[in-house]
Amino acid sequence: MVWDGLNRRRFPRVVFPCLIKVSSKGGEKETILTHTQNIGVGGVGVIVKKEFKLFADVELEIDLLDEFDHIKTNGKIVWAVRRKAAEEIKPMFYDAGIEFVSLPDRQKGHLQKVIDKLISSSTSILKPYV
């Protein structure tokens, strides 16, 4: 599903389904394991079965499916949209955009190299609006 809503990204994202753990912070901690829809050095788009509150703080662990350590950082839910139910018996899903809050420079550099490699291999790019 492609969401044509308001796009305020500052960095392009590539369509790349890598593994990600999203954990809520504070209160009752809940962890969701899912895949990214797209990723960039500024954040990720994910599909989750749980609705996160707008601007909620989350912890992220991303497996870029390479030989390097997982990226571990904090993020903030910057948008969330409930998907239309395809069938009555299936659970409701949500698309969410998560902005990286404290991505260390070393991990940002590694992520940029992965993104550059994907772009050079003709992976679909979601460009930011100017």
Tens of pLDDT along 50-107? Answer: 888 999 999 999 999 888 889 999 999 999 998 876 666 666 788 999 999 989 999 9
What's the pLDDT at 91?
Answer: 67
C-alpha dihedral sign at 115, 119, 124, 128 = positive
What's the pLDDT at 124?
Answer: 65
Q: Which of 68, 69, 93, 80 is nearest to 44 (CA)?
A: 80
Q: How far apart are CA 106 and CA 93, in angstroms?
A: 33
Is residue 51 within 8 A of residue 82, CB to CB? The reply is yes
What's the pLDDT at 2?
Answer: 44
Tens of pLDDT along 33-65? Answer: 999 999 999 999 999 988 889 999 999 999 998
Place domain 13-124 in its CATH homologous superfamily: predicted glycosyltransferase like domains (2.40.10.220)
Q: How far apart are CA 126 and CA 60, in angstroms?
A: 21
